Amino acid sequence: MSDVSKMSFEDAMGELEKLVGQLESGNVPLEESIKLYERGDALKKHCEKKLAEAEEKVAQITKGADGEATGATPVNYD
Q: What CATH number has the domain bearing residue 54?
A: 1.10.287.1040
- The total number of structural domains that make up the chain: 1
Range of the domain at 31: 4-72
Which stretches of the chain score pLDDT less than 70?
A: 62-65, 67, 69, 71-78
Q: How far is C-alpha 20 from the chain's CA centre?
A: 15
Q: What is the DSSP letter of 73?
A: -
- Residue 61 CA to residue 1 CA, distance in Å, equals 36
Any domain includes 22:
yes
Any domain includes 77:
no
Whether the model pTM is above 0.85 = no
- Residue 1 has what pLDDT? 72
- Residue 72 has what pLDDT? 62
List beta partners, residue 61. Answer: 72
